[in-house]
């Protein structure tokens, strides 16, 4: 019979085998599978960090790269980071290092969408584009600046 530590370790390895994950995400998954074992889960996660099987900085770098493939706004990026338990300062720093410019991404998203909007009434067209950009997580200030140009 395997110890609870070994069971948690093997389960954690299975979870990270195919997809890199943050410590926060892995902890939540393990807690769901092993309720009332928070201390042992924490020990396993500490050990995984120590042997470099779990690295939030490397995970965040990959996440930033992935998220920047699609033009989305700063607010949506924050939500994605928070949802994954990523340190916000680290995330913002890596976004800045990667050259994230919300205005550039908003213009790119707008260009993609403009051809798809068939509305002829200028007010309704602008409203649809504003909603689209809002849903993509762009700030109101950025939206107004992009739509003015």
Q: Where are the domains of the chain?
A: 1-54, 102-148
In percent, how much of the chain has pLDDT > 70?
99
Q: Quote the pLDDT of residue 5.
A: 92
Tokens representing 19 are 């997809």
The model's pLDDT over 9-30, given as tens digits with 9 standing for 90+, comes to 999 999 999 888 999 999 999 9
Task: Identify the CATH number of the domain defined by range 1-54.
Answer: 1.10.10
Query: CA-CA distance, 13 to 104, in Å (whole number)?
Result: 39
For 100, counting Cβ atoms within 10 Å of its Cβ (0-12 exposed, 13-18 middle, 19+ buried), the class is middle
Question: Percentage of the chain surpassing pLDDT 90?
Answer: 80
Residue with tokens 């720093």: 93
Q: What is the pTM of this model?
A: 0.78
């Amino acid at each position: 019979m395997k110890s609870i530590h070994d069971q948690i370790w093997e389960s954690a390895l299975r979870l990270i085998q195919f997809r890199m994950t943050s410590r926060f995400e892995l902890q939540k998954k393990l807690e769901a599978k092993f309720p009332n074992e928070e201390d042992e889960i924490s020990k396993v996660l500490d050990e995984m960090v120590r042997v470099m099987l779990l690295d939030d900085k490397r995970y965040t770098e990959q996440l930033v790269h992935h998220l920047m493939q699609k033009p989305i706004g700063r607010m949506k990026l924050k939500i994605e980071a928070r949802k994954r338990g990523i340190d916000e300062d680290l995330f913002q720093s890596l976004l800045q290092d990667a050259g994230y410019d919300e205005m550039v991404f908003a213009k790119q998203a707008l260009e993609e969408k403009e051809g798809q909007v068939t509305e002829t009434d200028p007010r309704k067209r602008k409203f649809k584009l504003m909603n689209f950009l809002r849903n993509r997580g762009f700030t109101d200030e950025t939206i107004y600046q992009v739509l003015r140009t």
